[in-house]
Amino acid sequence: MSNEQVGEKTEQPTTKKLEEAFGKGQLNKSSEIQTLLVTAGGLGSLMMVGPEIWEQSSKIMTSMFTEANSIDIKQEFMQSHISSSGKNFLKMVSPVVGASAAGGLIAGLSQTKLKLTTEAININWNKINPINGWKKIISTNALVTAAFSSGKILILGSFLYLEARKAIQSPIFSSSVSIGDFIKFVSLTTASIFTKFIIVMIFFALIDYSYQLWKTSRDLMMTKEETKEEHKNQEGDPKMKGRRQQMRMAFRQRRMIQDVPDADVILTNPTHYAVALKYNPKGMTAPKVLAKGERLFAAKIKELAKENKIPIIENKPLARSLYKSTPVGHEIPAAMYSAIAEILAAVYRLNPYKYHAQGKGA
């Protein structure tokens, strides 16, 4: 195998690799989605409060000019009107600013899955290095970004020019109409342009997001050697191995505890081992081990057996042999058929009505 093939990144990133990348701020984040939601929030709120802004602005200007013609213009008058107008203006535009800010916040949090990382905002002096800066300028990613931005400006500029030209050519400009009809025309035209503008921006956002998703996945790809090394490190960690073994053991014990009440008999050592057996002639060719344990877990099995009135039979060699030879969920070896059959027959005789109803015993 050549060195080029060995170093080729063909493997999907592991969970550990993805977690490390997220911690470093290498997120699948699209700036176009941010721009889209900020613009949509601002334009959407402007369309809703625009008529009110127009009306309030007209009242302010009318009041200002009326009072300015009726009294001497004094400094106190100008200061009062400027202060009042400023406050009114802030009240009018605050919904627009708030909606834009909310759009930016939603875009940021949705793309980071509500998780924040501080490493991305730490100063990286390599990024400030002018040599590295020139490398970035002439990189493939920079060229793609430049081409995308140029295409976006060209398409959006052409779109706005065509829409504005279409609006100017409207018959309303060549006929006598009332102020109300003109304002209605402007509102409808503006709403139409805004809606189409947002649709075009959605198109660009989808392209950018798809590209960022592809780029992030490509950048995080791993070589086969890196994948093998990472798996070896994880598998070789004694703490990780011990933790996995504990989790598997706990899961198996929980499962066995759930199955003990279904057992027909418990064979014991009596203090070291306990094996729970079940036999169903309709669905089994031989008795099956439902649960087994030693020491503390054996005591737990016997405790559950007493609670569920399951017979407990002491047979040291048979219990020890079953414990060591037969895994949980498997049927007993053929060599033990005769011995186990005698024990089950004795158990069935203890409660013939119960086991006869289940199709067991004579």
List the CATH number of the domain containing 298: 3.40.1690.10
How far is Cα of residue 45 from the mean position of the Cα atoms in its chain?
Answer: 30
pTM of the predicted model as reported, rounded to 2 decimal places: 0.46
How far is Cα of residue 292 from the mean position of the Cα atoms in its chain?
Answer: 40
pLDDT at 148: 83
Say how far apart CA 276 and CA 302 lie, in whole Å: 9
Tell me, yes or no, whether 40 lies in a domain: yes
Tell me, yes or no, whether 3 lies in a domain: no
Is 113 in the same domain as 195?
Answer: yes
Q: How many separate domains does the chain show?
A: 2
- Could you list the beta-strand ranges (E) of 5-117: 9-11
Specify whether the CB–CB gap between 2 and 213 falls below 8 A: no
Is 102 in the same domain as 201?
Answer: yes
Is 91 in the same domain as 64?
Answer: yes
Is 117 in the same domain as 187?
Answer: yes
pLDDT at 320: 92
Place of tokens 């025309």: 185
Tell me, yes or no, whether 238 lies in a domain: no
Tell me, yes or no, whether 323 lies in a domain: yes
Q: State the residue range of the domain holding 315.
A: 243-357
- Mean pLDDT of successive 10-residue stretches along the chain, which has 362 residues: 59 75 67 83 76 66 59 54 65 73 75 55 50 55 80 88 86 76 78 86 88 82 80 67 79 86 89 90 88 90 91 92 91 91 86 57 52
Is 269 in the same domain as 325?
Answer: yes
Is 62 in the same domain as 209?
Answer: yes
